[in-house]
Amino acid sequence: MITAKYDIIVIGAGHAGCEAAVAAARMGSKVLLITMDMNKIAQMSCNPAIGGIAKGQIVCEIDALGGYSAIVTDASTIQFRMLNLSKGPAMWSPRAQCDKLHFSFNWRYVLENTCNLDIWQDKVTSITFRGSRICGVRVSMGAKFSCKCVILTAGTFLNGRLYIGDEVVEGGRMGEAPSLGLTEQLSSLGCTTDRMKTGTPPRIDVRSLDLSKLDVQELDPNPSKFSYLPFKTNIQKGVVQKPCYIVHTNKNVHEVLKSGFDQSPLFSGKISGIGPRYCPSIEDKLRTFAGKDSHQLFLEPEGWNTYEYYLQGFASSLPLKVQMDALQEIKGLRGVKIFTPAYAVEYDFFDPTELHPTMESRIIPNLYFAGQVNGTTGYEEAAAQGLMAGINAHLKLNGKEPFILKRDEAYIGVLIDDLITKGVDEPYRMFTSRAEYRILLRQDNADFRLTEMGYQLGLVDQFRYEFTRIKYDTVSDYINYANKTSLGPKEVNEYLVSVESAEINSKRKISNLLSRPQTSFKSLLNCVPRGTKIGSDIPEKLSEISSIKTEQVNNLLNMPWGKKGDRGEIDPEFVHEEVLKSAEISVKYKGYIEREKGIADKLRRLEKLRIPDDFDFSKVTSLSMECRIKLNKYRPRTIAQASRISGVSPADIQVLLVYFGR
């Protein structure tokens, strides 16, 4: 019998588990990460991509706080796109196609090179208690490990079940066994559980397709990245990106798919779990949008050196023959061969309204939940929850105040507040529309918002902290310059005409000219007669910090599939471009930013109005009955949180304000 003592044990090495384990270990806790397969660490079970609308902002926030998702993504990227560039910067969202094997191996490299962190390959069968206190876990091979905190990040493996037509297989992922027993144990201790469903499409052998009949998705000619660290990715250094392709279903495809509806476990009632509304299976789409003759699909590469492609948008639980026959009817896919069929997976999750904002269970002290076990969907949402769980587990064990992000501070704050306040009736997915302060929560400024916090926590190292300080000192210099410096008609009108903007008759401040949508900061600076020397000291400042070697920087530069060639060499011009971009957004959208800050400041006052943890709302008879029931169920910590609960009206909030003497 092997026994060992740890501070924190993390169950599951998906995206949530990896971030949780690394964060807690880097902060100083002794951590054990238990996974059923060390070759599937941070496995991209679904699409081989990170980011997207609002999800990309979350990854940037993880990076700004000192997490690793962005770093691993940048080291594994095979294609990058910035989505929504035709809209304002609040909507810009980075997205990267990744080599999924490289992604997993890079995460494993990080884990194995993090101090205070051990890995154990096995299946956890139960959490052990001494009285009502968590004291460890048992695994299937007989080992026992003691700990003070457990973070559960089991993904889709809790009583997981896979469906392909009439075929039903126990498993959390194709070819992998489910995790049994934990749901029943925690349910018996008072945790509320239910079932959810998700799905994945077939993986296709691209050699069997006629790519000449497919539309190539446009590539980003100037690819960006996720991490704020000042190192270029391989594709930014000129490595040719791998393209994705666009295909469409048609009436023939739909008719074949409909012929299998009577064998669909989704429609027969075999699957009771709720599926994701925003990423439905193909049969769901046909039933919901019965009038549509075609649906757009994306064919995405799974890696640099593989013929395996992912058919995004074609998730299904239909029988294998129906899938194959339908695929044959898609233009360019006649004769298609598949590596893995589409299938649905049903699994257990726990009610997230039973969580504190730290991700700790209200029912079982020192038990934290993160990822799909909380009813969310997506690698990015899972990673964010894992990071917050790891941080807060460490803080609690060391008697420190919890770390909680507000809705106007981060998308991560929106995510967690939505989960614990509103709960879920379908797999939760982050969108920019869920954030009322999205102009403040842009992908370009997460380091400005959060890096200082990460530094105080001990997750942001000295190199990153000094780099961020240099960056935003220079941004501030540019903003001040734009507010003080004027340009006259002779200096700027030629440029204004070239971008189809109205000419000026008298001198205007650069900040005023920059408010025009057609203008750019860089071009306006070129109109200054003597030019500007702002930022000229960036190379010298970067040189001063380039010798600082930290664990995170070394991990980034030495990953097996990371940065190549000029390892560790910072490009000052590249940094200068990032500074200019940040300054331009700050000046161009100043009015919107200031207005949203004002709204956030007013609402933040309600965030400061705390409600006692043991307060009995039922005794406030002037509240509506629905309100009393909801408040007693969800136990909001503040008046602001209470105001976001469905069923609590503005009149109820006024009653609470009067009751608490405010």
Do the first three CATH levels of 462-549+571-596 and 608-659 match, i.e. the same topology? no
Alpha-carbon span 371 to 183, nearest angstrom: 15
Instruction: Tell how strand 203-205 and strand 308-312 pair up.
Output: antiparallel
Residue 279 has pLDDT above 80, yes or no: no
CB 611 within 8 A of CB 636: yes
**For residues 635 and 649, is the Cβ–Cβ distance under 8 A?**
no
Beta-strand (E) ranges in 253-404? 296-301, 308-312, 337-340, 343-350, 367-369
pLDDT at residue 446, as a whole number: 97
**Which of 84-88, 299-303, 368-372, 442-446 is predicted with the least confidence, judged by mean pLDDT?**
84-88
Closest CA to 198 of 426, 359, 7, 355: 426
Q: Is 496 in a helix, a strand, or coil?
A: helix
What average pLDDT score do residues 635-653 get?
Answer: 84
- Nearest CA to 624 out of 657, 660, 649, 661 is that of 649
In the predicted structure, residue 509 carries a pLDDT above the cut 80: yes
Residue 490: exposure state from Cβ atoms within 10 A (0-12, 13-18, ≥19): exposed
Torsion-angle region of 645 (φ positive above 0: left; ψ -120 to 50: alpha; else: beta): beta
**Mean pLDDT calculated for residue range 18-45:** 97
Helices and strands in the chain: count of H runs, count of E runs:
23, 24
pLDDT band with cut points at 50, 70 and 90 for residue 662? low
The residue whose two tokens read 């379908």 is 426
Span 629-652, average pLDDT: 85
Separation CA 35–CA 124 (nearest Å): 8
Burial of 329 (0-12, 13-18, 19+ CB in 10 A): middle
The pLDDT value recorded for residue 3 is: 72
Phi/psi for 283 (5° steps) reads: -70, -35
Confidence of residue 531 (pLDDT cuts 50, 70, 90): confident
Strand ranges inside 255-389, DSSP E:
296-301, 308-312, 337-340, 343-350, 367-369
Per-residue pLDDT averaged across 396-403, rounded?
A: 98
- Beta sheet of 117-121, edge-to-edge order: 117-121, 31-35, 8-11, 149-152, 367-369
Q: Percentage of residues in the chain with pLDDT exceeding 70? A: 98
Q: Which CATH number fits domain 608-659: 3.40.50.2020, 1.10.150.570, 1.20.1270.360, 3.40.50.1000?
A: 1.10.150.570
Look at residue 661 in the predicted model and tell me its pLDDT. 66
Provide the sign of the torsion angle of the four alpha carbons 166, 172, 174, 175, taken in this order: negative
What six digits make up the tokens of 407? 């809705």
Q: Which of 474, 565, 567, 561 is nearest to 521 (CA)?
A: 474
Indicate the pLDDT class of residue 638, thresholds 50, 70 and 90.
confident
* pLDDT level of residue 114 (50, 70, 90 thresholds): very high
With 0-12 CB in 10 A as exposed, 13-18 as middle and 19+ as buried, what is 180?
Answer: middle
Smallest CA-to-CA distance from 301 within 254, 379, 245 is with: 245
Give, rounded to a whole angstrom, the gap between the first and last alpha carbons of the chain. 59
Q: How many CA atoms lie within 13 A of 146 on its CB side?
A: 7
Residues in contact with 244: Cβ distance below 8 Å, sequence separation at least 6, in sequence order: 79, 97, 216, 217, 298, 299, 300, 301
DSSP 301: E
What is residue 460's three-state secondary structure? Answer: coil
Give dist(CA 571, CA 565) in Å, integer. Answer: 13
Q: State mean pLDDT over 345-374.
A: 97
- pLDDT of 34 > 80? The answer is yes
Smallest CA-to-CA distance from 90 within 45, 53, 120 is with 53
- The reported pTM is 0.93
Residue 15, C-beta contacts closer than 8 angstroms, at least 6 positions apart:
42, 69, 371, 379, 380, 382, 383, 386
Cβ atoms < 10 Å from Cβ of 77: 27
pLDDT the model gives residue 632: 87
Give the right CATH number for 462-549+571-596 from 1.20.1260.10, 3.30.413.10, 1.10.10.1800, 1.10.580.10.
1.10.10.1800
> Token match 């027969």: residue?
268
Residue 99 is classified by DSSP as -
Least confident of 494-503, 519-528, 652-661: 652-661
Q: Are strands 149-152 and 8-11 parallel, antiparallel or unpaired?
A: parallel
Q: How many CB atoms lie within 10 A of CB 573?
A: 9
Alpha carbon distance 415, 421 (integer Å): 10
Please state the rounded mean pLDDT for residues 64-81: 96
Model confidence over 554-577: pLDDT tens digits? 888 888 887 665 556 788 888 999
Task: Tell the residue number behind the tokens 């905190």, with chain if given.
Answer: 149
3-state secondary structure of 290: coil
- In this predicted model, what pLDDT tens digit does every residue of 450-494 receive, in sequence order? 999 999 999 999 999 999 999 999 999 999 999 999 999 999 999
Q: What is the pLDDT of residues 591-607, one digit of tens each?
A: 999 999 988 887 777 77
Domains of the chain, by residue range, sit at 1-457, 462-549+571-596, 608-659
Q: Which tens digits make up the pLDDT trace of 230-267?
A: 998 989 988 999 999 999 999 999 999 999 999 988 88
pLDDT tens sequence across 297-336 = 999 999 999 999 999 999 999 999 999 999 999 999 999 9
Inform me whether the pLDDT recorded for 215 exceeds 60: yes
Q: How far apart are CA 356 and CA 58, in angstroms?
A: 20
**Which residues partner with 83 through β-bridges?**
93
Mean pLDDT to the nearest integer, 578-595:
93
Residues 6+ apart with CB under 8 A from 65: 387, 450, 451, 453, 454, 457, 459, 460
Percent of the chain with pLDDT over 90: 73
CATH number of 1-457: 3.50.50.60
Whole-number pLDDT of residue 1: 54
Does the pLDDT of residue 119 top 80, yes or no?
yes
The residue ranking higher by pLDDT, 227 or 602, is 227
Query: Residue 2 above 70 pLDDT?
Result: no
Q: Tell which wins on pLDDT, 447 or 2.
A: 447
pLDDT at 564: 60
What integer best gives the mean pLDDT of the chain? Answer: 92
